[in-house]
Chains A and B, each alone.
Chain A
């Protein structure tokens, strides 16, 4: 099957002193209906990898292809279009619109992706994330764990082909970590979608279909049991 995302010989360097090269000739394929976990020690470029995969950062060399579109050569309008329906994000920092309630944050995500706003769908997602009673609350009234779940809900609600999730279980207890993992699993099981998640938790990563270790700017596939 045609891969959703394909990275070839990607080099990403930050011009600090001395320069940092978190991705150094990295290649990777994201097939449909797959959950991929990327692990590695902190500060070695896992988040950079996700941002390059999602077209948020341009690499110095190599190509990043989403359904045959090279994101390194794509126009801003093409990238915007891909972000609307193709690639979604869950950032390490739970960014939310502070002036919008939990419900409205999800509603805006649907509007931005051009999907029809269905109230029941939003409430169903809030229910799944244990936030139905917090629907009318602003982010400032939510706990760190609730914000994290809301951010995940926003990403899951839009029908992206690929979801790039950066430490999605940060701030969550063991029970919610498990439930979130199940939700991500369910996402992969629908319409050929895939998830690439970055985590430093190896036991969590081990539940994915594929596990990669990021080391020395390259990925090494680890055998999952």
Chain B
């Protein structure tokens, strides 16, 4: 019987592909949606847990890009004087303050870096954003050397542990855990090293006409004291630092959360529609298969093959096709989801964190379980028809 089922699959390829296509689309949509939503939620969760900063102090002209800076690693080449850091650190309610210096986006055209990434200078003495997420807990030797770089969790890999960035050679001294924020896509280096390469960068020449790179910072990340209200501290910072904007990261996260709620609701609605359509389409497909095969199914019965075995051969046939399509759809969904996550991440300033293999495992299991349930639901009506109307009898009547 299994041989008959298999030959029906491969020798009635058009029909099998039709069945497979319906299952593929349904499972692909489900698995992709699951992976994307899980990734966005994961990113948001990591952002909440690992962001570290309660307030971002940016030049007033760059405050509109706070989400991009926080979640998308988009460098903003607008700078504040370096002494702003001290002013911010001395503001009431501030526990810690650390400066960051954005250089530029680098890629293969200027550097030995595969892909596109952002280079940011940090001050390891005051840093509380990067250090806590170092894989292994600390840097080798404890300090960030002038030619050292730290790679974010989603930064491009560096061959041989060293990279040429804007003409200077740097060595990788550490990597970071995923954080769900722009930290993941960033290469970090010592702030002065970053200033040096930025000053020599032909791409930033125009920026330095009015600004001294060695007396500039891009932002100050602030952690407020226990019990202090970030919004009140932010207001105090704005008062203390003319020309600066202080953005509460909790506001950004709240905004992203509300975007995610809308996105998830829409996704759920689409999913429900797709699932319903897929179930109907598959049920129609299976019913039509049973009708067109009634003669053959009846023939099996007249050859003494039991009703259950006949039904089983049909279930095996459609089950193999559906599950093969589901497996292919799940694999494609896992591949496609990272591209979709990336697109959502950059287009809508949403946090994104690649899912751990175990999370993909859950997505795969859920998608395959869905395929099984979908097939079972779609098989109900055809099986009832098959059991109610004995094909053996149909065959006999057909012969009248």
Q: Give residues in A with beta carbon < 8 Å to B.
A: 47-48, 50-51, 54, 56-57, 76-77, 80-85, 89, 91-93, 95-100, 104, 108-109, 112-113, 138, 158, 166
Interfacial chain B residues near A109, Cβ < 8 Å: 303
Q: Please tell me if the beta carbons of B400 and A48 are within 8 angstroms of each other in the complex.
A: yes
User: Would you give the shortest CB distance from A7 to chain B, in whole angstroms?
Assistant: 16
Q: Please tell me if the beta carbons of B393 and A57 are within 8 angstroms of each other in the complex.
A: yes
Interfacial chain B residues near A84, Cβ < 8 Å: 303-304
Q: Please tell me if the beta carbons of B303 and A99 are within 8 angstroms of each other in the complex.
A: no
Question: In chain B, what residue has the closest Cβ to A46?
Answer: B400
Known interface pairs A95-B298, A108-B303; 12 further A-B residue pairs with C-beta atoms within 8 A, sorted by A's residue number: A47-B399, A51-B396, A51-B400, A54-B302, A56-B302, A56-B395, A57-B393, A91-B302, A95-B395, A108-B4, A112-B305, A113-B304
Q: With A99-B8, A99-B11 in contact, is A51–B399 under 8 Å at CB?
A: yes
Interfacial chain B residues near A108, Cβ < 8 Å: 4, 303
| Cβ < 8 Å to A, chain B residues 265-322 | 295-296, 298-307
Complex: A16 Cα to B395 Cα, angstroms: 18
Q: Please tell me if the beta carbons of A95 and B7 are within 8 angstroms of each other in the complex.
A: no
Chosen A-B contacts, 18 in total, with CB atoms closer than 8 Å, are A51-B400, A56-B302, A56-B395, A76-B306, A76-B307, A77-B306, A80-B304, A80-B305, A82-B304, A83-B301, A83-B302, A84-B303, A93-B295, A93-B398, A97-B296, A99-B4, A99-B7, A99-B12
Q: With A83-B302, A112-B305 in contact, is A95–B396 under 8 Å at CB?
A: no
Question: In chain A, what residue has the closest Cβ to B8?
Answer: A99
Binary interface profile of B, 357-400, with partner A (CB < 8 Å = 1, else 0)? 00000000000000000000000000000000000110111111
Q: Please tell me if the beta carbons of B398 and A138 are within 8 angstroms of each other in the complex.
A: no
Complex: A162 Cα to B304 Cα, angstroms: 14
Considering residues A81, A99, A100, which has the most beta carbons from chain B within 10 angstroms of its beta carbon? A99
User: Would you give the shortest CB distance from B296 to chain A, in whole angstroms?
Assistant: 6
Question: In chain B, what residue has the closest Cβ to A108?
Answer: B4
Q: Please tell me if the beta carbons of B393 and A56 are within 8 angstroms of each other in the complex.
A: yes
Complex: A58 Cα to B298 Cα, angstroms: 16
Question: In chain B, what residue has the closest Cβ to A97?
Answer: B296
Interfacial chain B residues near A98, Cβ < 8 Å: 11-12, 296
Q: Please tell me if the beta carbons of A97 and B4 are within 8 angstroms of each other in the complex.
A: yes
Q: With A95-B295, A99-B7 in contact, is A112–B303 under 8 Å at CB?
A: yes
User: Would you give the shortest CB distance from B314 to chain A, in whole angstroms?
Assistant: 13
Complex: A45 Cα to B302 Cα, angstroms: 20
Contact of A83 among B8, B12, B304, B397 (CB under 8 A): B304
Interfacial chain A residues near B400, Cβ < 8 Å: 47-48, 51
Interfacial chain A residues near B10, Cβ < 8 Å: 99
Complex: A97 Cα to B1 Cα, angstroms: 12
Complex: A109 Cα to B296 Cα, angstroms: 12
Contact of A100 among B4, B303, B393 (CB under 8 A): B4
Complex: A158 Cα to B302 Cα, angstroms: 13
Q: With A99-B8, A100-B4 in contact, is A92–B303 under 8 Å at CB?
A: no
Considering residues A51, A56, A104, which has the most beta carbons from chain B within 10 angstroms of its beta carbon? A56
